[in-house]
A and B are shown apart, each in its own frame.
Chain A
Amino acid sequence: MKNVAVLGVGMHPFGVWHDSPNADMSLVAGMEALNDAGLTFPDIQAAYVGYILGWTMSGVRVMKEFGLTGIPIQHVENASATGSAAFREACLAVESGRCDVAMALGFDKMTTSISTAPRDGAMENMEDLILPAAFFAMWATRRMHERGTKPEHLAKIAAKNLNYGARNPNSQRQPKEIITPEKVLASRMVAWPLTTMMSCPIGDGAACAIVGSVDLAKKLQPDRPVIRVTASSLQSERYERGHIFQGPVVGPPQMTRDTSTEAYEEAGIGPEDLDLVQVHDAFAIEELLYYELLGLCKEGEAEAAIERGDFEPGGRIPVSTDGGLIARGHPGGPTGLAQIWETVLQLRGEAEDRQVDNARIGLCHMMGGGSVCAIHILKRD
């Protein structure tokens, strides 16, 4: 992408907010993004609204809280990558020249939308019997078989993310004490070897990003560095032997490698140029595999890199600096936009306690239902 900048970002903290409707949370996130950009809602020329759980047209209804200005509003859904996909559409609208300013807004209320009761009715698929965490647990078992990975490696990733979460005011999990890998290992087992603290919580929240042309970014905030979107890639699966057709959460890891290759090419950089990275760490084993698939370390070397602390604060390349899905949370629709929020703050040097020194280039990675991969690369001018 040549001509897209992030003008403003905003979030409603992720958490369990039983008494906050989607519209209220969205208004908090959206107004924060508008204020951050120095814009008002009538300046927005197109909106892309993402949520996973909710009735049809929920996005339009939420947008009415901001105003009724006749702009095109498009609903976007791509499972966990919903917010990322909405962001991509907003970027493409600006890059194409169709509009100067576009808003991407994501919201969801997982805590009231997901029923934990046994699903006794008609089954859509045979695998509906199985807890989705099991599919990711089997990635871990296989990795342990092939590479000798230990649960301690997964615990170290989760502890890092939880301790990052403590430094993020918008994080759902903000532990009051330092989390050790031992504590992560001692938490309740969900699907062996994954424990609760190695898994993201369900939650509620909203997040928003406003994008516009680079010229507009310079005009609106002349004293602030321009944060460009230099790559936006979205891919789905390619068939290979061993592909599992049952269920959407079991996509091949290769998709992340292919999508990142495309994104690096578009941005004209390599993984060695990245200063920080956000990934879809719904489960700690995912983050481990993405280190390699994104090229942050060589294949088979993720465990050694974890032991060295490569991805910790002050490490070679900090990952999940806002706590990731494991700590910051994963309400669904807004998750990908929370990654954009974090990366923009980091690149501006506004990330306070969790600031990565002189961060200039950041990558955001999301998976949607294991079946799509979305990657954005942001760069400070």
Chain B
Amino acid sequence: MTEETRTRIPIKEDFFTVPSSPQVPPKFLGTRCKECDEYFFPRRAICAKCNSQNTVDVEMSSRGTLYSYTFVHIPMFGSSAEEHKEGYGVGQVDLPEGPRLQMPLAGKQADFRVGLTVQAELSTLRRDDAGNDVVTVHFRPVEEKP
């Protein structure tokens, strides 16, 4: 299989989309409460704010704001990717819909700052026995638009 045609499978189903085109960013699979309009990630059946069961599945933004971050100085569990060998960034990211996510960050410590705009991308962790790329999501800091 070539780089282009290899299938990408998510490390965990029902957390994010895996678009067929590598140019399209993943979207987060969440829940909106139809009673109080609170959003959640990951998906849940009952609203954690008002306890309503009147909830609906939604796709949420792939861009957010960095609330906090760190850089871990050991290899990432479950990853054989070269970029995770010396460690990896981790961020807490606020999506515009409200939920705060906790995900790996692409880049080095000096690239991170509280308040940065960050963009979700698919990140390949390893290849499985069937030759598929196992992917998760990481956020990468992007230039803020004025």
Contact = CB atoms under 8 A, between A and B. Distances in A.
Interface of A: 118-120, 123, 125-131, 133-135, 137-142, 145, 188-194, 239, 241-247, 250
Contacts of B103: 126
Given A134-B90, A246-B101, A129 B71 contact: no
Contact of B72 (A126, A133, A145, A245): A133
A139 B68 CA distance: 7
Interface stretch (B17-25, B52-60, B92-100): B92-100
B6 to A, nearest CB: 19
Contacts of A123: 11-12, 78
Contacts of A119: 77-78
A137 B91 CA distance: 10
Interface of B: 11-12, 15, 38, 40-42, 44, 48-49, 67-79, 90-92, 94, 98-104, 109, 114, 125-126, 136-137
A127 B41 CA distance: 13
B55 to A, nearest CB: 14
Nearest to A250: B102
Nearest to A117: B77
Contacts of A142: 67-68, 92, 114
11 contacts: A118-B77, A129-B77, A130-B72, A130-B76, A137-B72, A142-B68, A145-B68, A244-B100, A245-B41, A247-B102, A250-B102
Contacts of B101: 244, 246
Contacts of A130: 72, 76-77, 90, 102, 104
A142 B113 CA distance: 10
A129 B114 contact: no
A125 B92 CA distance: 16
Contacts of A118: 75, 77-79
B73 A190 contact: yes
A244 B102 CA distance: 7
A356 B2 CA distance: 69
B19 to A, nearest CB: 18
Given A130-B90, A141-B114, A191 B70 contact: yes
Contacts of B94: 242
Contacts of B40: 245
Nearest to A194: B70
A242 B102 CA distance: 11
Given A119-B77, A250-B102, A138 B70 contact: yes
Contact of A138 (B49, B68, B76, B109): B68
Contacts of A145: 68, 114
B102 A135 contact: yes
Contacts of B72: 130-131, 133-134, 137, 190-191
B90 A126 contact: no
Contacts of A133: 72
A129 B12 CA distance: 11
Contacts of A242: 67, 94, 100
B69 A138 contact: yes
B77 A128 contact: yes
A134 B77 CA distance: 13
A189 B15 CA distance: 31
A243 B48 contact: yes
By Cβ-Cβ distance, the 6 closest A-B pairs, closest first, are A137-B70, A142-B68, A138-B68, A134-B90, A145-B114, A239-B48
A103 to B, nearest CB: 37
B125 A129 contact: yes
Contacts of A190: 72-74
A129 B92 contact: no
A196 to B, nearest CB: 10
B77 A239 contact: no
Contacts of A244: 92, 100-102
A189 B42 CA distance: 31
Nearest to A128: B77
Contacts of B42: 245-246
Contacts of B126: 120
